[in-house]
Structure 1
């Protein structure tokens, strides 16, 4: 997985992230700024999920995207 693609186009990608994880606020997305670790942490915080579960979710989401 090439997460650099997400970081480089975060302004365009954050709408897709918000669709997937609607509990993330606009402030969360601004703070995350494409950083995967911060995204994982915010999803864990908002949804109360384990780190491994969140990591799998993000991988699955990323693989479904058409870049």
Structure 2
């Protein structure tokens, strides 16, 4: 799924993201708003992950849910 499609379906997408990463707040999701790099940063911040770990978790989640940016 490309960034334009993610942005267009953001409400649905952010619900799925928050199911996976429950520590993310609505404010976190508003900041990310369809931007993958911002979402990775928020996952890092909330979970205390390094960038590589946050990237890997997001990629694994995208692959398992058939999402592509």
- How would you bin the TM-score normalised by the shorter chain? 0.7 to 0.9
Distance in structure 2 (CA, Å) of the matches to 1:63 and 1:14: 16
Aligned partner of residue 34 in structure 1, secondary structure = coil
Structure 1 unmatched ranges of 5 or more = none
What's the C-alpha RMSD, in Å, of the aligned pairs?
1.5
Q: How many residues align?
A: 66
Comparing both chains, which one has the higher relative contact order based on Cα–Cα distances under 8 Å and sequence gaps of 6 or more?
A: 2
For normalisation by structure 2, the TM-score amounts to 0.84
- Identify if the C-alpha distance between structure 1 residues 66 and 55 changes in structure 2 by more than 3 Å, giving closer, same or farther: closer
Listed as ranges, the gaps of 5+ residues in structure 2 are: none
1:7 is the counterpart of 2:7: yes
Shift of 1:66: 4.6
Kindly provide the CA deviation profile for residues 43-65 of structure 1, in whole angstroms up to 9, marking residues without a partner as x.
Answer: 10000001011101000000111
SS at match of 2:23: coil
Pair 1:59–1:66, CA change in 2 (3 A): closer
